[in-house]
Structure 1
Amino acid sequence: MTSSRARGVRNAIVSVVVTLAGVLGMAATPANALPMYAGDSIRIEYSDGVKYGCTLNSIAYRGGAMYGVTAGHCLAPIGGARPVRVLAADARTPISGDLRDSGFLLEGDNTLGGALKDVAWFPMAGHVTDPRAMRGGFIDLPFIGAIQGLSGFAQFINPNRRIAGRQPVTAVRTGQIVCKDGARTSRTCGPVLNVNPRTGEIAVLILSLQGDSGSPVYTVNPDGSANIVGIVSGAAYGMFVAVDAATPLPAGLR
């Protein structure tokens, strides 16, 4: 075999190997990797064994470490119980098993005009990956949970949205339509009722129920990507929703 022909065969073999590697994901993330999307259902497990549902607002970073962001009251102590783990939507898989580097800010209450700061953060486990996107949230049903057909349907009909970044509440105006992806009521949209730049809050008319706390509230860009402008703090009558600023984040998070 001539040297030129040998080189041709070798190059063809290399090309096939590279192609197969891409198809099979040989250079991709580990098999146990768990992507966590903004708007996904999370469960906060407390020291008394009780688990409470909230929503992952987004993923932030500090010094190369990855942190989950949610509402502050989701990680606040309840009576004598304190949060010990954060679990994925199946209520079994840990996404944060060490909360020593977590924290929360909770000033005021989680009603309209009350929660001046309602944000929490927790370190993500090493197997969690950041797709930098949202996929429509979940529909968490009492006694059934978040992993079921309705959640799958919600994620099927709602397009994934790439997260372009975070913006201050002053980036929106009264009457503008914003959306949220939540763990309880999936993706819903509605108008902004009020913007309060002094407290860093907005009020929106949008469907939201218990379990949606922490949901990312966002605007949609012409290309379909999302700018997160807030964190769902609480709701009155399931429709009048208090939203706290998503930037700047505390604790040096970006």
Structure 2
Amino acid sequence: MVPAPCKITVLARHEMFAEALQVALTSAGHEVQRLSPPESSTSATRLVEAVARTCPRVLLVDPDLDHDGASALIRTLSRCGVSVVVLTAEIDRARWGGWLFLGAYAVLSKSVSLTDLLAAIRAIGAGREVLARDECHRLVALYHQQRNEVRDCRARLDALTQREREVLAHLVHGDTVSEIAAVHVVSEATVRTQVKSILAKLGVTSQLGAVSVAFRARWRPAVPARVDREGGGTGDVRADGFGSEPGGSTGA
């Protein structure tokens, strides 16, 4: 029995990857439309509208387009009955769980074979699972676990004073106590006192533990002013911020 053709929209950052998908899926008898990657200034709403105008049964999307845009696509279109399949190079399974939690029908590696991708599309057309239900539940549970950990670490970081955050930023960037003291023109004893306070507030016992909390919070600290080891000057300071949580959302 020949499977019924499926109306598919492909949205991916890499044009060659998207074009290869379009050619392969069209050759397999499917009706495929490829959308060009949006401009960085394109709002999530406009991105959703652009895809919706193609009226797809299946959307193959690269979540690396834009965290907020990809999340909005998955959440909105899945609620409208579109089967969203995420094709990703991401190896963090918590991220996979986040996309499933948002409503993705399935998450597949970009390295998936054409045979397996076509089998997934046939399964969608027949209303069958692509990923086993137990596997989906496991991935979503992993997402929630990691998201809660991220938020807990961010809450601990919020307890730090501005100066303590500056000192922690130095530690994240590998600066020593003596280098931090030189930049801020204070004694090493003062910096050690600040480090001790940081460790207590973060609930860890070492500088490595403090850096670990920062990484688990996905904190992106400013590049701190640093002693120029050759010229003795200091560098510029840039604003800090947080990276995305599992699944693409940002903020705490």
Work out whether the TM-score is over 0.5: no
Larger radius of gyration: 2
TM-score by length of 1: 0.24
Give the helix-richer structure, 1 or 2: 2
Q: Which has the higher contact order (CA 8 A, sep 6+)?
A: 1
TM-score by length of 2: 0.24
